[in-house]
Chain A
Amino acid sequence: MRLFLIALVVAATTVQAQPSILGGTREDFRRYCAGCHGNAGDAQGENADWVDPKPRDFTLATFKCRSTPSGTLPTDDDLFHTIKRGLVNSNMPSWKPLPDETVMNLVAYIKTFSPRWKTEKAGTPIPVPPEIPVTADDILAGRALFQKMECWKCHGPEGRGNGPSASTLTDSKDQPIKPFNFAASSRFKCGTTNQDLYKIFLTGLDGTPMPSFADNFKGDDAWHLVHFLRTLQQAESPEKVVWTEWLSTHQGQLKPIGPEGQ
């Protein structure tokens, strides 16, 4: 019954701005979000000048964390989880303490700032197939992709975010932006799980230099790359165990990643 009511509330706010519902949500938006994102959702809130990376500009309807192809609108679920999770390495905190209803209404409210939501539907979510077992060959295949797809040009040969192009990167509003440093964190921009990382390759992070590889990855490519990237992290993981063992018996057999690694 409660779920049904929530669905009704979301539907109502999406279709028609009902003053009673949107009124309350507007209060919530101003209380929790407008400080950075601005009353008009244009990223011109009073804190925006002091925040780096800059708050999302909802009037553009360009979002980093999606399950949908690059260039398409995210699903309501994507936005809901972004708010609940927060965005690592930014000033966007996790809003987990807020009731689900409030966050759902905020999602509907965010969608009033750009006309794109009136004319376009959310993209079709990219499916994430079941994860494959972690093996040394699988990690080696991921390492080869890291070289071949030239991930290292931004993320650096060891994934430390210090590749040759790193210092030149800007986001779509011309603000300097740093590539993710795999050695420094185990939380990714759009989640912590292997599935979340898999998704990032295929969707890209719209509004940033991180492109989509949806047209380039075949078969289990994305899983291979996920498993290799886990070995670059400090945190212990099943991938690291397999990799450390393989390295101990194959010392000096790998070409370094980078310009010479072709």
Chain B
Amino acid sequence: MMRTFAILGVALLSASAPAPYMAGSVTGTITFTGTPPKMKPIDMAKEPSCAKQHATPIETENVVTGPNNALQYVVIYVSAGDQGSETPATPVHLDQKGCQYIPHVVVMHTAQSLEIANNDQTSHNIHPLPTKNPEWNKSQPPGSPPIVTKYENADFIPVKCNVHPWMHGYHIVLATSHFGVSGNDGTYTISGLPPGKYTLTAWHEKFGTMTQDVTVGAQPAKADFQFKATPY
């Protein structure tokens, strides 16, 4: 009786679902083993307008860790098996505030608009160093409108400001809209994935990439990654 009820329930559920598929998701936690490098406090004395925005000096963000060996700013994305994704019409935002890139790692789809704002009282120059897209370098004095740009090719692009040498970040350009970025607790979610088999790649700017196969069904799939940290 119970079983019949359950089957009926499933049948009803699938009958009421209007979408051609039920979008699934992947969640997981990114951690590290070993000893990560110590992040260094940044001396912004040469830029007082930025220094005064930080009560205590902020640290470099090449390796940001959280509680329980969590690793932040890891980009996890579908690197194989993607059943198609479109370039979102909404732009991705990157802010320059307190002489920092916020967020440190910004992820976008190929050909998606990227809006870069300067909310500081000082000039910045945005200087991406791509390998699969043209290199450019533009000045953005305080009060300028946002720089709107895009990258045509998938790429992992280090970005710097030459005026403020501590400013360093990444523009990650993916050929998929199925990605997640780990937070300070190491967790990430990739949602909107149709059921199927996928390969996930996790990328960290210092510790490289790892891959893992995952099968997405009606339940959220789970894929944890553990990076090997080295102090240098």
Contact = CB atoms under 8 A, between A and B. Distances in A.
- Of A148, A216, A259, the most chain B CB neighbours within 10 A belong to A216
Contact of A148 (B127, B141, B164): B141
A213 B140 CA distance: 8
Q: Is the interface of B mostly helix, strand, loop or mixed?
A: loop
B134 A165 contact: no
A149 interface: yes
B138 interface: yes
B135 A71 contact: yes
Interface in A55-72: 60-62, 70-72
A211 B141 contact: no
A165 B141 contact: no
A165 B167 CA distance: 12
A209 B127 contact: yes
Contacts of B46: 164-165
A211 B134 contact: no
B139 interface: yes
Contact-residue bracket for chain A: 20 to 34
B127 A215 contact: no
Interface in A19-74: 60-62, 70-73
A150 B122 contact: yes
Contact of A215 (B123, B129, B138, B163): B138
Interface string B117-140: 000001101110100001111111
B165 interface: yes
A210 B134 contact: no
B162 interface: yes
Interface string A211-252: 111111000000000000000000000000000000000000
A216 B143 CA distance: 10
B144 interface: yes
Interface in A67-106: 70-73
20 contacts: A62-B134, A62-B135, A71-B136, A116-B134, A148-B141, A150-B122, A150-B123, A150-B163, A154-B162, A154-B163, A206-B135, A206-B137, A208-B137, A209-B125, A209-B162, A211-B137, A212-B138, A212-B139, A214-B138, A215-B140
Given A70-B136, A70-B137, A154-B162, 13 more contacts: A71-B136, A149-B139, A150-B122, A168-B165, A172-B135, A206-B135, A209-B127, A212-B136, A212-B138, A212-B139, A213-B139, A216-B141, A259-B48
